[in-house]
């Protein structure tokens, strides 16, 4: 008989609910993942999913998730709809919520294998944007995503949902300074480029000259004010996405997609034949 929680005020429910706050997440190095897709991706990484809460309806709709969790010896608890509503951080919960261990590693652990494509988020504050960039980085084949110290928490519930499971696919680094990231990447032989809408040189020019084929890290700044003062002094160059129409600019996630796919394409076509953006 599976243990069931029906009391929203029970200590166990309160203990899980407090993981909605960053302070408790960091202290316990645990976070919440909602929905069948997120749980399936968490289960694909051994040891990440600590426990699973499911409504009776979700058990019927997603028996494969329950079976996989049980096979992995992850405790599965049934909860009432009211309790799931208390635990979940979405307006319409999907009936599955998992407690997961943090997946980030130290900067020194992330870079020794010579990454080809890296994302550095600098002062990115919106969790939806950050999660979408993480998902895009995964799709483009990035090896490492670095959330610097002034960024939103990648374990924020909205960021986790926006990543659509990609949080569990890429090597994640959290909490380092932009300077430390840039220095470590340069030491690893990775060219560090800033995505800057004010840069005189475009991605098109860099592609035409074969300058994006080598190992590259892209630095993306804040949604509203771009790159912080001092960042340009830490990178090897800057490129902008050309605007051919009347739009003033691109949002962060869209600009990131253009930059990352430009690098991914260049790296698959040929080797490094240029010196990057100067």
* Residues 73 and 88 placed together within one structural domain of the fold: yes
* Residues 143 and 40 placed together within one structural domain of the fold: no
* Residues 160 and 236 placed together within one structural domain of the fold: yes
| Residues spanned by the domain of 61 | 4-101
Given a cut of 50, is residue 79 above it in pLDDT?
yes
Last residue of a domain, one of 54, 86, 101: 101
229-267: b (≥16 Cβ within 10 Å) or e? eebeebbbbbbbbeeeeeeeebebbebbbebbebbbebb
- Average pLDDT of the segment spanning 236-244: 95
Is 277 a domain residue? Answer: no
What's the total number of domains in the chain? 2
Output the pLDDT for position 274. 43
* Residues 176 and 78 placed together within one structural domain of the fold: no
- Average pLDDT of the segment spanning 2-23: 90
* Residues 125 and 195 placed together within one structural domain of the fold: yes
- Convert the pLDDT of each residue in 141-188 to its tens digit: 999 999 999 899 999 999 999 999 999 999 999 999 999 999 999 999
The DSSP string of 73-112 is: T--EEEE-HHHHHHH--SSS--SEEEEEE-----HHHHST
* Residues 70 and 167 placed together within one structural domain of the fold: no
Q: Mean pLDDT score of the chain, rounded to an integer? A: 93
Is 276 a domain residue? Answer: no
What CATH number is associated with residue 191?
3.40.1280.10
Last residue of a domain, one of 79, 101, 123: 101
* Residues 111 and 75 placed together within one structural domain of the fold: no
* Residues 143 and 118 placed together within one structural domain of the fold: yes
- Convert the pLDDT of each residue in 89-106 to its tens digit: 888 999 999 999 999 999
* Residues 113 and 96 placed together within one structural domain of the fold: no
Q: Which residues pair with 39 in a beta bridge?
A: none
Contact 154, 172 (CB under 8 A): yes
Is 16 a domain residue? Answer: yes
* Residues 85 and 144 placed together within one structural domain of the fold: no
- Average pLDDT of the segment spanning 232-251: 94
What CATH number is associated with residue 46?
3.30.1330.30
The whole-angstrom separation of Cα 139 and Cα 136 is: 5
* Residues 78 and 179 placed together within one structural domain of the fold: no
Last residue of a domain, one of 50, 75, 101: 101
pTM above 0.85, yes or no: yes
Given a cut of 60, is residue 214 above it in pLDDT?
yes
* Residues 93 and 118 placed together within one structural domain of the fold: no
Is 212 a domain residue? Answer: yes
Output the pLDDT for position 275. 45
pLDDT band at 118 (very low <50, low <70, confident <90, very high): very high
Q: Specify the pairing of strand 30-34 against strand 96-101.
A: antiparallel
Is 275 a domain residue? Answer: no
């Amino acid at each position: 008989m599976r243990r069931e929680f029906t009391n929203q005020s029970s200590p166990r429910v309160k203990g899980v609910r407090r993981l909605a706050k960053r302070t408790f997440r960091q202290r316990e190095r645990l976070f919440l993942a909602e929905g069948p897709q997120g749980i399936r991706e968490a289960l694909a990484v051994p040891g990440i999913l600590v426990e699973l809460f499911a409504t009776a309806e979700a058990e019927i709709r997603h028996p494969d998730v329950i079976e996989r969790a049980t096979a992995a010896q992850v405790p599965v608890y049934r909860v009432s709809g009211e309790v799931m509503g208390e635990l979940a951080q979405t307006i319409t919960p999907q009936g599955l919520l998992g407690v997961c261990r943090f997946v980030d590693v130290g900067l020194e652990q992330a870079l020794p294998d010579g990454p080809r494509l890296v994302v550095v988020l600098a002062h990115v504050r919106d969790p939806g944007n950050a999660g979408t960039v993480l998902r895009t980085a995964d799709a483009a084949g990035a090896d490492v995503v670095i959330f610097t110290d002034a960024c939103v928490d990648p374990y924020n519930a909205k960021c986790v949902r926006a990543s659509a499971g990609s949080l569990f696919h890429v090597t994640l680094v959290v909490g380092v300074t932009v300077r430390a990231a840039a220095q470590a990447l340069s030491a690893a032989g990775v060219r560090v480029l800033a995505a800057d809408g004010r840069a005189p040189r475009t991605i098109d020019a860099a592609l035409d000259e074969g300058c994006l084929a080598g190992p590259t890290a892209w630095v993306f700044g804040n949604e509203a004010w771009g790159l912080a003062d001092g960042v340009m002094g830490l990178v090897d160059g800057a490129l902008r996405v050309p605007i051919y129409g009347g739009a003033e600019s691109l949002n962060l996630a869209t600009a990131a997609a253009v930059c990352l796919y430009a690098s991914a394409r260049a790296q698959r076509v040929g080797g490094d034949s240029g010196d990057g953006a100067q």
